[in-house]
Amino acid sequence: MSIRHIWAVTRKEFAHIVRDRSTLILVLFTPTLVLMLMAYALTADIQHVPIAVLDYDHSQTSEAFVQQITAGQDLTLYAYARSMDDVNAMLVDGQIKAAVIIAPTFTRDLLALRGMPIQVIIDGTEPNSGNFAVQHISQQAEAFASQALAQQLSAEGIAPDALNPLDLRVQTWFNPDLKSRNAIIPGLISMVLGFPALSVALALAHEREHGTLEQLMATPISRAELMLGKIAPYIAVGLLNAILIPALAIAWFHITLNGSFLLFFGLSAVFLFAVLSMGMIVGVFMRTQAAALALSFLVIFFPGFFLTGIFFPLVSMPEEVRLEALALPGTHYAIITREIFLPGAGLDVLWPYAVMLVVLGVAFTGVAALFFRKKLA
């Protein structure tokens, strides 16, 4: 294997990236743009969910309960309904996402410790907002009932703590505020850094369409040298993104990097080698750029979105799907990025995932080199 041959192909590919404006945008700017868009779209916390209240009790206690559940930015009191017809009309028109029905015996049952007779109706056409409203109302109702019980016990001279022997203290590590963006954005990095794989597939298909691939193969360059020479410049551009994208996540989204950036940078290079080799396989089998683009999304990006554990835990997937996920470089790299950003894990924890990336990269490169000459004919 000749370093001179690899460098010649690398220089040619660098010139193509710089000369072709669409390729330059795809490999250099698209990952940052996609991270920004997806981070805002997927990590937005639900707030200001409009609700209506139908209060049959009309007491100071029920009014205090309504004030408690609508305090803050989670729920917004859209209107007091006068009847169930009003509730139905607002739900049908989409003006509210949930309605709270307070029974006429609300205060009496609460003071008698018989519970809190309330009903919550949610708009099933938007389950996320409805479920969020139910969860918030349930938590506030429990807190409201606890306060009422504590006041009644104190009035009778009984210490509330005497009836509560359970002392439960919850601690949340690595993401104390339980913000979704702290967990999702490090995972998204593993997906957006894979965009150069699309460029590799398109570049190989482009050369096949224009006949320049045959000219390359007429030179004394081996298949492995051609593969490595084509991958090398995209790894370099990908590593530039491996600097810019974490900097954006830290500065713009206030994500904390608790681990070593050098470790993240080094393992990013290994990931890029694996995912670019996967893109090379797509380019080997596809003869047109349109086909390479379609297959890249089907084989690399769609599975990378759904099967790498970024949004759905791997343990909840069927065994066959988990085996498929293990064959994706993004699955192992998503674990690496989250472990470095959140707990600050080191190589002593992450080495099995790094080894898997190396194995996948070597395997994909071997498959691409094996079928390259056969598909060229």
Would you give the DSSP letter of residue 81? -
Residue 281 pLDDT class (50, 70, 90 cuts): confident
CATH of domain 51-163: 3.40.1710.10
Tokens 């997806």, located at residue: 38
pLDDT of residue 346: 92
Strand ranges (DSSP E) for 132-270? Answer: none
pLDDT at 52: 93
Highest mean pLDDT among 84-88, 191-195, 369-373: 84-88
Q: Encoding tokens for residue 318?
A: 């069927």
The confidence score (pLDDT) of residue 332 equals 93
Give me the pLDDT at residue 347, please: 93
Domain residue limits, the chain? 3-43+179-376, 51-163
Helices 195-210 and 3-19: angle between axes, nearest 10 degrees: 100
- Tens of pLDDT along 303-346? 877 888 887 788 778 888 888 888 899 999 999 999 999 899 99
d(CA 107, CA 56): 11
Q: How confident is the model at residue 164 (pLDDT cuts 50, 70, 90)?
A: low
User: Looking at residue 263, what is its pLDDT?
Assistant: 95
What mean pLDDT do residues 29-39 have? 85
pLDDT at 101: 93
- pLDDT recorded at residue 262: 95
> Which pLDDT score is estimated for 214?
61
Give 157's pLDDT tier (boundaries 50, 70, 90).
low
